[in-house]
């Protein structure tokens, strides 16, 4: 409501600015045309005299110039007619019409335009005021949360927990320099911790576009000093060796990670990729059995030499394929088969299996969806052709 009162006051002031001069009996300042022209030419004549005084023009030139200016003055003043200030009937009618225009057009135009584009219900929302509002965690979005924590830290920069919370958020947003700053602050305030050190290192590496530089290496080495098994620190140090061209060292480091990791560790996929890249033996065959940790078959497989192991795995996959083909199976089982082919690098058979799976599961849309999602993840052919 107050906003409309304010608008009414503003409109009133604007209309008054027009109505006041209209309501005066006499125009306040009636500069008269003839008078201002006379002043101009007098000034011009004075200037001509000054020029003569300075010796710029001769007396004869002065006379000629003055005569010319005077002629123009006479011409100008004879044409000019002073504005009338009469209050006769037509003049009054004009004033009333002008007042009506002002009274109507100003508020109407303003309201029409504002009505079309304005949002009178929205208050001003300066950021500082919004950050002071009480928080309802249910509808707190991530940007707001970050803004709140940042504001809090700006006032109380020695709150290590705040930095600890911000670090992962910055990482996810791709603000790696900020993440590194946050981790560094957290370390300073909360003391060294292998995870924090490794995270600091990771942020620094990302900020450098993936290159492990001296500061990051230092952080990783410190992390290993506290926890010699820390996989992230080991992994990036291995990357550092790889980037420096130390292939053998990198391979040894990656193998070391595999050795030190539990068999179903989630990072093994990535480590395996790097290991192959530096010419090491693939460790992916462990992945199909990741779902059955510690199974006897898995342990026995792991103990086999490389070639035998591959052969054994191939045999197991064939068995699974044969069983699914004959008896059918759940979507999860088909996906496991696809994954096995994918890991073995046999894309053609994976495609064939995918087609078979689609056929077998055709009656179950949910199962097909699961299948498609997994296929897409593995980069196999898209959705099933719809008939």
Partner 1 sequence: MLIEAGHFALALALGLSVVQFLVPIWGARTNDATLMSVGPPAAIGVFALILFSFGVLSFAYATSDFSLANVVANSHSQKPFVYKLTGVWGNHEGSMLLWILILALFGALVAVARNAVPPKLRANTIAMQGLVTIAFLLFLLITSNPFERISPAPFEGQDLNPFLQDPGLAIHPPLLYIGYVGFSITFAFAMAALIEGKIDAVWARAVRPWTLTAWGFLTLGIAMGSYWAYYELGWGGWWFWDPVENASLMPWLAGTALIHSTVVMEKRDALKVWTILLAILTFSLSLLGTFLVRSGVLTSVHAFAVDPDRGLFILGILVFFIGGSLALFAWRAPMLKQGGIFAPVSREGALVLNNLFISTACATVFIGTLYPLALESLTGAKISVGAPFFNATFLPIAVPLLLLLPFGQVIAWKRGDVAGITSRLYVAAGLAILATVAVYAVTLGGPALAPLGIGLGVFLVLGAFNEVATRAWQSGSGGVALAAKRALGLPRSTWGTVLAHAGMGVTVVGVAATAWSVERIVSMNPGDVQTIAGYEARLEGVFPRTLHNYNEDVARFTLLDDGREVAQLETMKRIYPARGMSTTEAGLETFGFSQVYISFGEIQPDGSLGVRLYYKPWILLIWIGSVIMALGAALALTDRRYRVGAPVRAKGGPRGSGSSTRRPAATSAVPAE
Within 101-140, the residues that bind partner 1 by CB under 8 A are 101-102, 105-111, 113-114, 117-120, 122-130
User: Which among 145, 140, 151, 213 has a CA at the least distance from the CA of 176?
Assistant: 213
User: Cα–Cα distance between 268 and 124 in angstroms, integer?
Assistant: 52
| Beta carbon nearer to partner 1, 61 or 364 | 61
- 152 part of the interface to partner 1, by CB under 8 A: no
**Residue 286 to residue 294: CA distance in whole angstroms:** 11
Note whether 79 binds partner 1 by CB under 8 A: yes
Please report whether residue 244 would count as binding partner 1 according to CB under 8 A. no
Q: Give 175 or 339: the residue with its C-beta nearer to partner 1.
A: 175
Give the residue with the Cβ less far from partner 1, 80 or 310: 80
Calpha distance 277→281 (Å, rounded)? 9
Q: Where are the beta strands (DSSP E) in 92-248?
A: none
For partner 1, the closer of residues 200 and 371 by Cβ is: 200
27 binds partner 1 (CB under 8 A): yes
By CB under 8 A, which span of 84-92, 182-190, 195-203, 278-286 interacts with partner 1? Answer: 84-92
Question: Which CB atom, from 84 or from 387, has the smaller least distance to partner 1?
Answer: 84
Judged by CB under 8 A, which of 62, 76, 224, 304 binds partner 1? 76
Backbone angles phi, psi at 336, to 5 degrees: -60, -40
* Residue 72 interacts with partner 1 (CB under 8 A): yes or no: yes
Phi, psi of 219 (to 5 degrees): -60, -45
Name residue, tokens 């290192």.
Answer: 201
297 binding partner 1? (CB under 8 A): no
When asked if residue 370 is in the footprint of partner 1 (CB under 8 A), the reply is no
Which x/- pattern, by CB under 8 A, does the window 248-287 give for partner 1?
Answer: ----------------------------------------
Cα angle: 75, vertex 78, 79; to 5 degrees:
90
Q: Which stretch binds partner 1 (CB under 8 A): 68-76, 195-203, 233-241, 332-340?
A: 68-76
| Largest separation between any pair of C-alpha atoms in the chain | 126
Report yes or no: 367 and 383 within 8 Å, Cβ to Cβ: no
Among 62, 70, 147, 281, indicate the residue that binds partner 1 (CB under 8 A): 147
Residue 137: DSSP 8-state: G
Residues of this chain, 350-369, that bind partner 1 according to CB under 8 A: none
Smallest distance from the beta carbon of 64 to partner 1, in angstroms? 8
Cα→Cα distances 315→108, 129, 345, 350, 355, Å: 86, 67, 15, 15, 21
Taking the CA atoms of 143, 147, 152 and 157 in sequence, report the sign of the dihedral they define. Answer: positive
Q: Which of 170-178, 182-190, 223-231, 306-314 is the region at the interface with partner 1 (rule: CB under 8 A)? A: 170-178
The answer to whether the beta carbons of residues 340 and 317 sit under 8 Å apart is: yes
343 close to 320: Cβ distance less than 8 angstroms: no
Distance CA 365, CA 378 (A): 20
Give the contacts of 359 (CB within 8 A, at least 6 positions apart): none
In angstroms, what is the minimal distance from the CB of 194 to partner 1?
Answer: 26
> What is the rounded distance in angstroms from the CA atom of residue 336 to the CA atom of residue 353?
11
Options 167, 175, 241, 257; binder of partner 1; rule CB under 8 A: 175
CB closer to partner 1 out of 143 and 297: 143
Taking CB under 8 A as the criterion, the residue among 67, 74, 100, 143 binding partner 1 is: 143
Answer yes or no whether residue 3 interacts with partner 1 by CB under 8 A: yes
Does position 46 bind partner 1 by CB under 8 A?
A: yes
**Closest approach of Cβ 115 to partner 1, in Å?**
9
Residue closer to partner 1, measured from CB, 54 or 386: 54
How near is the Cβ of 363 to partner 1 at its closest, in Å? 45
d(CA 214, CA 320): 49
Residue closer to partner 1 (CB basis): 108 or 369: 108
Q: What angle do CA 247, 248, 250 make, to 5 degrees?
A: 65
């Amino acid at each position: 409501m107050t906003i409309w009162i304010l608008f009414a006051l503003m409109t009133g002031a604007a209309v008054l600015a027009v109505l006041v001069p209209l309501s005066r009996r006499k125009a306040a300042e009636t500069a008269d045309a003839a008078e201002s022209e006379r002043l101009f030419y007098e000034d011009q004549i004075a200037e001509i005299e000054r020029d003569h005084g300075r010796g710029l023009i001769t007396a004869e030139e002065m006379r000629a110039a003055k005569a010319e200016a005077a002629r123009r003055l006479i011409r100008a003043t004879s044409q000019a007619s002073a504005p009338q200030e009469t209050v006769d009937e037509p003049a009054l009618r004009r004033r009333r019409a002008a007042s009506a225009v002002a009274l109507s057009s100003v508020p109407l135009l303003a309201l029409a335009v504002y009505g079309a584009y304005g949002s009178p219900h929205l208050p001003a929302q300066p950021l500082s005021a919004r950050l002071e509002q009480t928080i309802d965690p249910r509808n707190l979005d991530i940007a707001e949360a970050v803004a709140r924590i940042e504001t809090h830290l700006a006032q109380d920069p020695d709150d290590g927990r705040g930095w600890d919370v911000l670090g992962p958020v910055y990482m996810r947003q791709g603000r790696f320099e900020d993440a590194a700053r946050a981790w560094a602050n957290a370390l300073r305030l909360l003391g060294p911790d292998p995870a924090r050190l490794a995270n600091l290192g990771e942020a620094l590496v990302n900020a450098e576009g993936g290159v492990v530089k001296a500061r990051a290496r230092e952080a990783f080495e410190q992390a290993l000093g506290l926890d010699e098994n820390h996989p992230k620190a080991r992994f990036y140090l291995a990357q550092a060796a790889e980037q420096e061209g130390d292939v053998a060292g990198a391979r040894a480091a990656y193998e070391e990670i595999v050795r030190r990791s539990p068999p179903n560790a989630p990072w093994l996929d990535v480590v395996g990729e790097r290991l192959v890249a530096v010419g090491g033996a693939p460790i992916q065959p462990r992945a199909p059995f990741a779902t059955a940790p510690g199974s006897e078959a898995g342990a026995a497989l792991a103990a086999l030499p490389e070639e035998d192991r591959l052969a054994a795995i191939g045999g197991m996959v064939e068995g699974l394929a044969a069983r699914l083909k004959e008896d059918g199976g759940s979507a999860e089982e088909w996906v496991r088969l696809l994954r096995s082919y994918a890991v073995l690098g046999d894309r053609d058979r994976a495609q064939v299996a995918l087609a078979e799976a689609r056929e077998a599961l055709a009656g179950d849309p949910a199962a097909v969806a699961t299948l498609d999602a997994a296929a897409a993840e593995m980069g196999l052919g898209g959705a099933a052709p719809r008939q």
